[in-house]
Amino acid sequence: MTVRPAPKAAAGPEWPTLALVAGCYLLWGLATTVLAGASPAFATLATAVLIAQFSSIQHEVLHGHPFRSRWLNEALVFPALTVLVPYGRFRDTHLAHHHDEILTDPYDDPESNYLDPAVWARLSAPLKALLRFNNTLLGRMLVGPAIGQASFMAADLRAIRGGDRAVARAWVLHLAGLVPVLGWLATVGEMSPGAYLLAAYGGHSILKIRTFLEHRAHERARGRSVIVEDRGPLAFLFLNNNFHAVHHAHPGVPWYRLPAFYAARRDRFLALNEGYRYPSYGAIFRRHLLAAKDPVPHPLWPLRRR
């Protein structure tokens, strides 16, 4: 899908995003202290939701919100609440993913879940079964974070061993960002480290609902990004990134403007993305909880760049 020029940036900060950042930190603090002391199980669930929200905020930040200044934006999300993924690596891999001509490419798209059919053919039967389960929504939520994390960390370790200083720097900054989080949990928080790790895994599991079918194999790049016309709690949690084809075409539009931006151009966007649309996340759960949306080996490989 062709990326259009983003609307002109606001002269000042984007106050809805700043308010969201403040609210997320406040609720995270309450969940890991007051709520954790009253109900550890509920606190773990609440913290998982807030970690998913924080990751959505990081996504806004890497696209240049809420300030014009990159260092101010990144300072807002310096604490490593998500634990598992360094912000710098999220930023760099996601921006690489925004080259639409490589979307779903098993090698060049860092967020692709497809494999080269030749690689798939060499896998063992148990690993194939695991990856097929991972291609259902239930599997993606249960084992997807572990599979993704293992693959991501293995690739980063190879890059660091190969002398990639940018990757190493991102991990060093991530470890520094863990210091305030661990300090909070050790001094003020009522949540155990084990419970927080479980919450972090849960947060990434929630995010898998959004990323599960954001992209499909399609001959045309513009037909690879989905639109989920949801306006409920999950849409807010994902900061309207469910209008994903719109986001790919106009990555500079802030989250709180995306629904209206899409509504005013609905027919155009649905024509552009070849009708890749779901009415809600509820429809996705009903259709794909136990049924894969597509195969693990890329069905159109080699991918055409157009």
First CA to last CA across the chain, in angstroms? Answer: 9
* Amino acid (1-letter code) at residue 281: Y
Whether 62 maps to a domain, the answer reads yes
| Whole-angstrom distance, CA of residue 75 vs CA of residue 83 | 16
pLDDT at residue number 12: 73
pLDDT, tens digit (0-9, with 9 covering 90-100), for 255-282: 999 999 999 999 999 999 999 999 999 9
Q: Smallest Cα–Cα separation from 133: which of 125, 144, 146?
A: 144
Question: Is residue 244 a contact partner of residue 227, using CB atoms and an 8 Å limit?
Answer: yes
pLDDT in tens, the chain (306 residues): 443 444 444 567 999 999 999 999 999 999 999 999 999 999 999 999 999 999 999 999 999 999 999 999 999 999 999 999 999 999 999 999 999 999 999 999 999 999 999 999 999 999 999 999 999 999 999 999 999 999 999 999 999 999 999 999 999 999 999 999 999 999 999 999 999 999 999 999 999 999 999 999 999 999 999 999 999 999 999 999 999 999 999 999 999 999 999 999 999 999 999 999 999 999 999 999 999 989 999 999 987 655
Whether 188 maps to a domain, the answer reads yes
Whether 259 maps to a domain, the answer reads no
Whether 280 maps to a domain, the answer reads no
Of the chain, the percentage scoring pLDDT greater than 90 comes to 94
pLDDT at residue number 1: 43
Q: Smallest Cα–Cα separation from 179: which of 46, 81, 84?
A: 81
pTM reported for the whole predicted model: 0.94
Whether 113 maps to a domain, the answer reads yes
| Whole-angstrom distance, CA of residue 232 vs CA of residue 187 | 36
| Whole-angstrom distance, CA of residue 306 vs CA of residue 285 | 31
Whether 244 maps to a domain, the answer reads no
pLDDT at residue number 305: 58
Strand ranges (E), 118-254: 227-228
Whether 224 maps to a domain, the answer reads no
Question: Is residue 252 a contact partner of residue 63, using CB atoms and an 8 Å limit?
Answer: yes
For 197, the domain range is 15-215
Whether 112 maps to a domain, the answer reads yes
Number of structural domains in the chain:
1
